Amino acid sequence: MDRRKRKTQKNITAVFYQLLKKKSYEEISVSQICQVADINRGTFYLHFIDKDDLLEKSISHEMQELVEYCEGNGETSNQLKLEKTFEYIAEHREELRRLLGADKQGFFAQFQIEYLMEQMTDQSPLTSIFFAHGLVGLLEYYLMNDISEVEISEELEKLTYSFR
């Protein structure tokens, strides 16, 4: 993708995040995004199918950033990757909270579950499913509620201890 297209997509996404700070997902329209981004609707539709596509690609981008953050140090231990996951989520909590709040289609959970299932090759399929869904539920609960990093870390330590 050329530089201008990347710049336009970044601009649209930044405006989308900015609007999510002020309004609910349902209150945001493509027209509003275009107005604030100073682009026409045609330009928006060159990059995204619709507002849901923008949301899905935004979540996908955030999840890819999370994966790169967790795997960037070459760590192979699932426990340390899990710690890095919560470290990243704590640093990006507000943005992720807004995206998750807008995510009525379940893109966030779907991406996370697929990634976790790929990582848990040493577990049986049923154990992997159980752990992946539970962990994603815990991540979502952490993002959407007022829970401290210390509290979530302690609970994770207890939960992961039982899987060692």
Domain boundaries defined on the chain? 1-48, 51-164
pLDDT score at 23:
94
Compute how many other C-beta atoms are within 10 angstroms of the C-beta atom of residue 117: 16
Residue 56: the pLDDT is 94
pTM to 2 decimal places = 0.83
Ordered mean pLDDT values, 10 residues apiece, the chain (164 residues): 90 96 95 96 96 95 89 71 81 91 91 86 86 88 85 77 61
**For residue 162, what pLDDT is reported?**
61
**DSSP calls for the chain:** --HHHHHHHHHHHHHHHHHHHHS-GGG--HHHHHHHHT--HHHHHHH-SSHHHHHHHHHHHHHHHHHHHHHTT----HHHHHHHHHHHHHHTHHHHHHHHHH-SS-HHHHHHHHHHHHH-TTS-HHHHHHHHHHHHHHHHHHHHTT--HHHHHHHHHHHHHTT-
One-letter amino acid of 40: N
Residues 134 and 82: beta-carbon distance below 8 Å: no
pLDDT for position 58: 95
Does CATH place domain 1-48 in 2.130.10.10? no
Alpha carbon separation from 25 to 17, 73, 86, 96, 98 (Å, rounded): 10, 35, 25, 13, 9
pLDDT in tens, 123-154: 888 988 988 898 889 889 988 888 887 787 77
